[in-house]
Amino acid sequence: HHIIVFVRPPNSARGSDTDVRAMRLLSGYAPGTRPFPFEPGMAKMIPAGSKLVFQMHYTPNGKPQKDRSSVGFAYIKPEEVTHWIGTTNASNHTFRIPPGADNHPVIADKTMEDDVLLVALFPHMHLRGKAFRYEARYPDGRSEILLDVPKYDFNWQYNFVLAEPKLLPKGTELHCEARFDNSEANLANPDPKSEVVWGDQTWEEMMIGWYDIALPIEKVRAAESTVDKSEPNSGS
């Protein structure tokens, strides 16, 4: 179903390898996903001493199988890094898709808390996923379609990388709209007679608008320095 690779830093507050709240998302794979090469100067950081934690989600097929999963990296010299890449999302966990609905909408929004460069978009749904659209709603009132996937396919989940990183000013709302087909006309539909809610299994559903952003490395280091200096007096 998927693989998600997390980074668990050595100074993580939580010690469990299954508690993803203490980890950073490094990379993910779903059926059809291709490698994601960053632009020159852009990178993710893995602190020395970190663990790489693979979250494996299998869908059984009734036969024993072998797992040969792996992850590969392209490295960059620290002095060449200009931007830090982060992965986050706009998601909706409370939807209910009625039985037989052939074009059910589900909405999720995320507001940018700082100026960011948008690098890539990755829509994620399951077998009833029909279409997915990302729209930027700017603070000045303008709006722009960033990505429109009219025929979503669970078996071909792409990371849509922008030809050039796009500035999303502070206050920009990332508006995501998914459409689901829970009808008999959807040949991949496990059960068109059931109401569908959020769930991990392939026959359940998800609505996640993943996206990757880039921040200037100087801003990230300044923020980390502020956190480090405040920790001794935090009382935690």
- Cβ-count burial 173-199 (b if 16+ within 10 Å, e if not): bbbbbbbbbbbeebeebeebeeebebe
**Cα distance between residue 61 and residue 73, in whole Å:** 31
Backbone angles phi, psi at 231, to 5 degrees: -60, -45
pLDDT of residue 231: 43
Cα(62)–Cα(119) distance, integer angstroms = 39
- Give residue for tokens 């990230």: 220
Task: From residue 118, give the alpha-carbon distance in Å to each of 48, 84, 85, 213, 214.
Answer: 27, 12, 10, 5, 6
The whole-number average pLDDT for the span 118-130 is: 97
pLDDT at 191 (0 to 100) = 97
pLDDT tens by residue, 148-173:
999 999 999 999 999 999 999 999 99
Query: What token pair was written down for 230?
Result: 């405040």
